[in-house]
Each structure stands twice: as structure tokens, then as C-alpha cells.
Amino acid sequence: MSPTVSDLKIWQIVKAIPKGSILSYGEVARRAGYPKGARQVARALKIAPEELNLPWHRVVGAGHRISIPADSAAFKRQVRLLKREGFVVKGRRIVVAEISSLDRALWG
DNA sequence: CAAATGACGGGGT
DNA sequence: AACCCCGCCATTT
């Protein structure tokens, strides 16, 4: 598959997520101008060229859940990268202490 | 062309 | 929390 214009836009947005913060697939989709495109965001990340060095691990499911299949290598990789940035991860979940810090996590 | 798929989301049980 | 169900939609079967 070759990248579409929407893929480029999605990559651009993910690229701009600051270290230490996370966004949901749906949120990235909205910011890219595709309010119903959460699944397309997931696809765009999956096919993203490695050399773009996208911080794909900062994109999680709504409700702070890691959406990658828990048995995959990519899952473990995402957990490791998130912890490296200070997040507390329990199983497939990203724990956020306060409500206010939740907002901060959603965009620095 | 019809059916299945999925790194999704929101609601309900 | 753990499921199930349905809407959504580009891609792939």
C-alpha cells in the first residue's frame, strides 16, 4: 500500500506529539480532519515507514488502553517506550493519577 | 462486486 | 473489570 494524503496528515500530527504526553487514535483523527477516522489512524501508523521515527507509542486507545494485541512484540515495545517517558503502565492500561494530570497528558 | 478485517469508539450488561 | 454489540470506514479477501 502507498500512503494517502490522509496518511501524511496523520503522520504529521503524530510526529508533533510532545514527549511525555499521549493522544488517542480518535483524537489524532479529529485533529487530522477525519472525525470518524480512528481506524484509519491505526492503519496509518502500522504502515508508517520506520525512517520517519514517529512516536507511534504515544498514540493509545480511548480510555488509556494500549490497543496493540497483548501478545505481540510491538505491544511490549510500546509499554517499554511509555514507561521510559514516565508513564505507569499496568497490563494494557496506562494509569493516570489525577483528573487534571489526565488533561495535561492529552496535550502537554 | 460481496464479505471480512482491524494498533477504534461508545454504550450497554 | 470483562464482555458483547454496533457504528464506522479504508483495505483486503
Quickly list DSSP for A8-73.
HHHHHHHHTPPTT--EEHHHHHHHHT-TT-HHHHHHHHHT--GGG---GGGEEBTTTB--S-TTSH
State pLDDT tens for residues A70-88: 999 999 999 999 999 999 9
Mean per-residue pLDDT, A1-12: 93
Bases in strand B with any atom closer than 7 Å to a protein CB: 6-10
Mean per-residue pLDDT, A86-103: 77
pLDDT at A96: 75
**A97 CA – B5 C1', rounded, Å:** 35
